[in-house]
Amino acid sequence: NAGVTQTPKFRVLKTGQSMTLLCAQDMNHEYMYWYRQDPGMGLRLIHYSVGEGTTAKGEVPDGYNVSRLKKQNFLLGLESAAPSQTSVYFCASKDPGMNRKLFFGSGTQLSVL
Amino acid sequence: GQQVMQIPQYQHVQEGEDFTTYCNSSTTLSNIQWYKQRPGGHPVFLIQLVKSGEVKKQKRLTFQFGEAKKNSSLHITATQTTDVGTYFCAGYTGNQFYFGTGTSLTVIP
């Protein structure tokens, strides 16, 4: 049981380049989230999805787009990367039970030069 | 907007000393969760508190949820080197989790 898998683990981009981060979960969870983690700022929500075909904006959505075409996958796109998007990105899915706990992927370290 | 503040940002303790981190929300929360992130790792769920005034224990860890459901604390008794990491609270409301800024705990052997 893999849980939540994120690819790639590391990436270096030049300003203006585009890329897509992939998140896949095998727990049949409806809710999925994309966070970015920066020193001293905790985890900030970028976008989230409450089910296949749905997406919603979080706290810091600007410069990012997402898609949830399949229930198990949640994609995060950067159309034109900026140095301010240098961060560690975490994907998570939510247990639908009473616990509501989040299962996180191992993260993607992104550097934009 | 929703804000969850956490203090302190950093804490260094000698092994065997106690440790406490505090979490405060600007609004009432449906529930609050705590996560631990080891250096270089990802956040891992520790516990969820739902009821006003709730207290839960996990071995040396004690979690409290305030009466007004706007604040919470995590207390570790007699820290060990395995407790090293960053502890985050996360308030849940409106389908979203609002994470605190985290407390980084260093335990000096």
Q: Give the chain A residue whose CA is nearest to the CA of B93.
A: A100
Q: What is the pLDDT of residues A20-55, one digit of tens each?
A: 999 999 999 999 999 999 987 889 999 999 999 999
CA angle B62, B66, B71 (to 5 degrees): 90
Q: What is the pLDDT of residue A65?
A: 97
Q: Once rounded to an integer, what is the mean pLDDT over residues B85-103?
A: 91
Looking up tokens 């034109």, which residue turns up? A80
pLDDT digits (tens, 9 = 90+) for A61-94: 999 999 999 999 999 999 999 999 999 999 999 9
Q: Is the pLDDT at B55 greater than 70, yes or no?
A: yes
On chain A, the residues whose CB falls within 8 A of the CB of B6 are 42
User: Which residue in A40, A42, A105 is closest to B42 by CB distance?
Assistant: A105
CA angle B102, B104, B109 (to 5 degrees): 160
B45 touches chain A (CB under 8 A): yes
- Any residues with CB less than 8 A from the CB of A36 and at least 6 apart, and which? A43, A44, A46, A60, A85, A87, A88, A89, A90
A3 has pLDDT over 70: yes
Q: How far is CA A73 from CA A36, B32, B95, in A?
A: 18, 27, 19
Output the pLDDT for position B2: 64
Q: Do A42 and B88 touch (CB under 8 A)?
A: yes
pLDDT in tens, B22-48: 999 988 988 999 999 999 999 999 999
What's the pLDDT at B96? Answer: 85
Question: Are B25 and B71 contacting, i.e. CB atoms less than 8 angstroms apart?
Answer: yes
Residue from B4, B25, B42 to probe the interface with A (highest A Cβ count within 10 Å): B42
Chain A residues inside the 8 Å CB shell of B42: 90, 104-107
